[in-house]
């Protein structure tokens, strides 16, 4: 139950009501005061003062002054009339309730309207500012444009002037030339006859075609041309200069090169050289050079060349144990296995070599061709002709110029067709 | 304002064309210009325009069998003003524009498209016989004398068995007397080769890693002074050609300016230290080369080597969204230039304030 504040004093004039409400000891803030056009409430819990006003007031202009222990209201009446009392006399509970609610609603609406009005003004201010800046920038731009335009016009005028000068000069020259021509025609005809007898055939040929072409232009130009030719050196004696183009590690221009792939390949090679297999315990009794995969590879190659295939395989096996990332070891071992007719091993080794020969770059083309060919051969000897043909065709794709591969591929195709029929 | 004191590039006139424009050249001693290119129907077009007021008026249109790629007035006299063209079929033709039905000189010079052409000895500039050089996709560079039919007077070709590289650009230089002459050729793999025609030998070669789009000497008719070579990926190199070191060749300074291919470089005829580069993004950059205090110095062994100078950008402007593939300064009016772009437009520009540089 609120505590009603009843000690209020009021007086009025024709247009306003002055109400003073003592609130001894209480702290009042504007939030505690609630006022609409017919209802006034001051709520400082637990104290409460409310008044249903006798007549409507202008609540936007009315003021409340919060002083020391007292609130002083100045309420401006909507209609200038004298009130009988501050509040409505016969106010029953329901009416009170209704009025209160109404008042609250009205207050809400007013608040909403106010915020909206604020928004609108803010927008307008922004717009105005924007337009102002745009105008300024426009002015600046225009100024620069004007400067440029002035330059342009000045320059155009100069150009026109120059052009006129050119035209005048040309006309003059032409008139002059025609005058000279009449004097010289006879002389030059004589000279030309002489020259035609002396010069070589090709010379004459060109000058004749030129005569035909210049017919329309006027004869003077041809004659003056002949004169000048006498002063020029003879055509150069023909010669050829042979040139070479810059080679790169990969013979492609920068714009064509697949640099990324090529770098990868180079890196892989470098890494492969460095890997050393972990399992060295059994290999301790080997000589120093026998631990070098390259040396072993060379050994293997030599033995392959002499026909000692088993020894070559041994050498390659050891090399692989030391460094299993060198594709050439597998490639050469595959060749040995082919000769030894270990066809499955040959296929395995060729496949391993191909795996290691990625990414496919021009540098490892040869190696890849060999790998495909060897695997293809192995397949064919196992009578797996379709797989063999696939490998041969892959080889052919890398190296289309190779006649042997083409011939072999053809043979395989015939074989396949023969068996299916 | 420092900005407005610099040379400005003012667009004076432009013309929309209905064919692909490959080259545009001023007709010497006139306000006329030639545009050549390839029409949609696969034939070559040659158009003669005159600059009138602020516009280009078409005077003449000549159609030829094969699309035309490049042309030059360099090897003709001022009275005749014959125009030499290279076309897509590898033919070199010299035309008299007054009577263009039959060429004055014609030869099937190359097996593939002639990418670039240059002429020297004509127009009253320089000394010696007028000659034309053509560079083609078949990897050869050939020098022709209009007085000698069918066979070139010099042929620079790859050795037997060498895989060929496209030649993209050629330029004459060093033609300061009757005997001396050099040809510089740029290839698509970044090779630049300098051929001496007096000794018929390769004088110098280098590789700038990216394909060379355009080479030009600052003057054809003086002792070779500077050479500018432009390439793909926005780089160009300026070589100081006065001092050749036995191993290091010529000193150079390079600049990476436009993010795209630099299609052309052209020196201002009236000032050999100013040149303009045109780029694949439709932009033009105007550069000035400043010489170093000493153009040559001795290296550790006492051999002379050149010192490259420095470059400063005077102005740049973007005219189009497509590459500007051809550029030509007018030899008669300082600052007047024409450029042709792949957006089928030819533009006449005026560069102001070049006197103050």
Helical residues (DSSP H) of B2-68, grouped into ranges: 2-5
Minimum mean pLDDT among A20-34, A300-314, B86-100, B314-328: which range?
Answer: A20-34
User: Which two three-digit tokens encode residue A324?
Assistant: 């299993």
Q: Percentage of chain A surpassing pLDDT 70?
A: 80
- Residue A264, H or E segment: helix A259-274
Which CATH number goes with the domain that contains B307? 2.130.10.10
pLDDT band per the 50, 70, 90 thresholds, residue A289: low
Most confident of the following: A84-93, A222-231, A306-315, B2-11: A306-315
Q: Is residue B3 part of a domain?
A: no
pLDDT per residue over B242-259, tens digit each? 988 888 889 999 999 878
Q: What is the mean pLDDT of chain A?
A: 78
Q: Which of residues 196-225 of B touch A (CB under 8 A)?
A: 197, 200-202, 205, 207, 209-211
Q: What is the mean pLDDT of chain B?
A: 90
Identify the pLDDT of residue A296: 83
Residue ranges of domains in chain A: 3-88, 91-186, 290-417
**Alpha carbon of B127 to those of A166, A228, B123, B160: distances in Å?**
26, 12, 10, 35
pLDDT band per the 50, 70, 90 thresholds, residue B35: very high
pLDDT band per the 50, 70, 90 thresholds, residue A240: confident
Q: Is residue B357 part of a domain?
A: no
Note whether A242 contacts B157, CB cutoff 8 Å.
yes
Q: Does B236 touch chain A (CB under 8 A)?
A: no
Q: Does B54 touch chain A (CB under 8 A)?
A: yes
pLDDT band per the 50, 70, 90 thresholds, residue B69: very high
What angle, rounded to 10 degrees, do the helices at A201-214 and A219-231 form?
A: 150
What integer is the mean pLDDT of A151-167?
82
Identify the pLDDT of residue A161: 84
Higher pLDDT, A56 or A186: A56
Identify the pLDDT of residue B37: 92
Q: Does A155 touch chain B (CB under 8 A)?
A: yes
Check: CB of residue B39 under 8 Å from CB of residue B63: yes
Higher pLDDT, B109 or A222: B109
Q: Tell me which CATH code domain A3-88 carries.
A: 2.60.40.790
Note whether A215 contacts B201, CB cutoff 8 Å.
no
Identify the pLDDT of residue A212: 39
Check: CB of residue A49 under 8 Å from CB of residue A37: no
Nearest Cα residue to B341 out of B266, B282, B285: B282
Q: Which of residues 320-339 of B touch A (CB under 8 A)?
A: 332-333, 335-336
Q: Give the distance from residue A160's alpha carbon to the nearest chain B alpha carbon, in angstroms.
A: 7
Q: Does A417 touch chain B (CB under 8 A)?
A: no
Instruction: Kindly list the residues from chain B whose CB atom is less than 8 angstroms away from the CB atom of residue A241.
Output: 154-157, 195, 200-202
Identify the pLDDT of residue A218: 39
pLDDT at A122 over 90: yes
pLDDT at A255 over 60: no
pLDDT at B1 over 60: no
Identify the pLDDT of residue B54: 80
Look up the domain containing B286 and give its range.
8-352
Phi-psi region of B157 (alpha: psi -120 to 50; beta: other; left: phi over 0): beta
The number of distinct structural domains making up chain B is 1
Check: CB of residue B184 under 8 Å from CB of residue B178: no
pLDDT band per the 50, 70, 90 thresholds, residue A76: confident
Note whether B148 contacts A202, CB cutoff 8 Å.
yes
Q: Give the distance from residue B196's alpha carbon to the nearest chain A alpha carbon, in angstroms.
A: 10
pLDDT per residue over A47-58, tens digit each? 888 888 888 888
Most confident of the following: A185-194, A218-227, A398-407, B341-350: B341-350
Check: CB of residue B248 under 8 Å from CB of residue B203: no
pLDDT at B163 over 50: yes
Identify the pLDDT of residue B135: 94
Instruction: Kindly list the residues from chain A whose CB atom is less than 8 angstroms away from the CB atom of residue B129.
Output: 232-236
Higher pLDDT, A220 or B74: B74
pLDDT band per the 50, 70, 90 thresholds, residue A285: low
Question: Is the pTM value of this prediction over 0.90?
Answer: no
Distance CA A20, CA A74 (A): 9
User: A203: nearest CA in chain B?
Assistant: B147
User: How many CA atoms does the CB half-sphere of B63 hold within 13 Å?
Assistant: 6
Identify the pLDDT of residue A222: 42
Phi-psi region of A401 (alpha: psi -120 to 50; beta: other; left: phi over 0): alpha
Note whether A214 contacts B129, CB cutoff 8 Å.
no
Identify the pLDDT of residue A89: 64
Identify the pLDDT of residue A156: 80
CATH value of A290-417 in 3.40.50.2300, 1.25.40.10, 3.40.1180.10, 3.40.225.10:
1.25.40.10
Higher pLDDT, A200 or B57: B57
Q: Give the distance from residue A60's alpha carbon to the nearest chain B alpha carbon, in angstroms.
A: 59
3-state secondary structure of A263: helix
What integer is the mean pLDDT of B39-51?
92
Identify the pLDDT of residue A99: 77
What integer is the mean pLDDT of A317-321?
84
pLDDT per residue over B262-273, tens digit each? 999 999 999 999
End-to-end Cα, chain B, rounded Å = 16
Higher pLDDT, A87 or A341: A341
- Of A151, A202, A213, which has the smallest distance from its Cβ to B149's Cβ? A202
What angle, rounded to 10 degrees, do the helices at A365-381 and A327-339 form?
A: 30
What integer is the mean pLDDT of A327-342?
87
Q: What is the DSSP string of A305-351?
A: HHT-HHHHHHHHHHHHHH-TT-HHHHHHHHHHHHHTT-HHHHHHHHH
Q: Percentage of chain B surpassing pLDDT 90?
A: 61
Identify the pLDDT of residue B278: 94
What integer is the mean pLDDT of A204-213?
41
Distance CA B104, CA A215 (A): 12
Note whether B4 contacts A147, CB cutoff 8 Å.
yes
């Amino acid at each position: 139950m609120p505590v009603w504040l009843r000690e209020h004093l009021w007086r009025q004039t024709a247009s306003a009501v002055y109400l003073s409400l003592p609130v001894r000891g209480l702290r009042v803030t504007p939030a505690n005061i609630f006022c609409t056009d017919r209802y006034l409430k001051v709520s400082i819990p637990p104290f409460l003062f409310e008044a249903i006003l006798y007549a409507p007031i202008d609540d936007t202009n009315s003021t409340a002054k919060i002083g020391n222990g007292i609130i002083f209201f100045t309420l401006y009446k909507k209609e200038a009339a004298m009130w009988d009392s501050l509040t409505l006399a016969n106010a029953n509970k329901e009416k009170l309730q209704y009025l209160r609610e109404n008042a609250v609603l009205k207050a809400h609406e007013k608040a909403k309207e106010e915020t909206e009005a604020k928004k609108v003004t803010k927008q307008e201010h922004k717009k105005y500012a924007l337009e102002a800046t745009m105008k300024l920038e426009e002015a600046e731009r225009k100024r620069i444009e004007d400067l440029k335009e002035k330059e342009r016009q000045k320059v155009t005028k100069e150009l026109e002037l120059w052009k006129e000068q050119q035209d005048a000069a040309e006309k003059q020259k032409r008139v002059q030339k025609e005058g000279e021509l009449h004097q010289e025609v006879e002389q030059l005809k004589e000279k030309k006859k002489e020259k035609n007898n002396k010069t070589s055939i090709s010379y004459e040929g060109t000058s004749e075609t030129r005569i035909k072409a210049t017919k329309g232009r006027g004869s003077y130009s041809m004659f003056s041309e002949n004169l000048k030719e006498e002063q020029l050196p003879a055509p150069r004696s023909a010669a050829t200069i042979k040139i070479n183009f810059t080679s790169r590690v990969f013979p492609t221009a920068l714009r064509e090169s697949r640099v990324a792939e090529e770098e990868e390949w180079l890196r892989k090679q470098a890494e492969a050289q460095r890997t050393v297999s972990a399992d060295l315990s059994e290999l301790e009794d080997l000589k120093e050079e026998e631990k070098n995969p390259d040396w072993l590879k060379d050994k293997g190659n030599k033995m392959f060349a002499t026909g000692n295939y088993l020894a070559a395989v041994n050498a390659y096996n050891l090399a692989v144990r030391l460094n299993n990332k060198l594709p050439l070891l597998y490639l050469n071992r595959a060749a040995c296995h082919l000769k030894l007719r270990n066809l499955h091993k040959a296929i395995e080794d060729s496949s391993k070599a191909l795996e290691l020969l990625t990414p496919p770059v021009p540098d490892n083309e040869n190696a890849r061709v060999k790998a495909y060919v060897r695997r293809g051969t192995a397949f064919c000897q196992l009578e797996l002709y379709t797989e063999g043909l696939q490998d041969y065709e892959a080889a052919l794709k890398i190296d289309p110029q190779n006649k042997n591969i083409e011939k072999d591929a053809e043979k395989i195709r015939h074989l396949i067709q023969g068996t299916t029929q | 304002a420092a900005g407005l004191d610099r040379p400005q590039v003012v667009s004076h006139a432009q013309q929309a064309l209905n064919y692909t424009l490959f080259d545009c050249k001023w007709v010497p001693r006139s306000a006329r210009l030639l545009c050549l290119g390839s029409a949609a129907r696969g034939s070559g077009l040659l158009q003669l325009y005159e600059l009138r007021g602020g516009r280009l008026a078409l005077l003449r249109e000549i159609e030829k069998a094969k699309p035309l790629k490049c042309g030059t007035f360099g090897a003709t006299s001022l009275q005749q003003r014959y125009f030499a063209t290279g076309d897509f079929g590898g033919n070199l033709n010299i035309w008299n524009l007054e009577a263009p039905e039959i060429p004055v000189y014609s030869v099937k010079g190359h097996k593939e498209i002639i990418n670039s052409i240059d002429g020297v000895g004509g127009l009253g500039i320089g000394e010696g016989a007028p000659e034309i050089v053509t560079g083609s996709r078949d990897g050869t560079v050939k020098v022709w004398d209009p007085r000698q039919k069918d066979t070139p007077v010099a042929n620079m070709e790859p050795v037997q068995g060498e895989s060929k590289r496209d030649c993209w650009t050629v330029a004459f230089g060093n033609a300061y007397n009757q005997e001396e002459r050099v040809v510089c050729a740029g290839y698509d793999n970044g090779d630049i080769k300098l051929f001496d025609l007096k000794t018929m030998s390769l004088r110098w070669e280098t590789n700038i890693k990216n394909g060379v789009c355009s080479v030009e000497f600052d003057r054809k008719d003086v002792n070779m002074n500077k050479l500018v070579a432009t390439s793909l990926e926005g780089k160009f190199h300026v070589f100081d050609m006065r001092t050749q070191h036995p191993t290091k060749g010529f000193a150079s300074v390079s600049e990476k300016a436009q993010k795209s291919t630099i299609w052309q470089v052209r020196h201002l005829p009236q000032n050999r230290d100013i040149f303009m580069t045109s780029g694949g993004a439709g932009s033009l950059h105007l550069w000035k080369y400043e010489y170093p205090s000493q153009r040559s110095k001795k290296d550790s062994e006492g051999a002379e080597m050149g010192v490259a100078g420095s470059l400063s950008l005077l102005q740049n402007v973007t005219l189009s969204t497509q590459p500007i593939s051809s550029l030509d300064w007018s030899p008669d009016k300082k600052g007047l230039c024409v450029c042709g772009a792949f957006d089928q437009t030819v533009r006449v520009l005026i560069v102001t304030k070049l006197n103050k540089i």
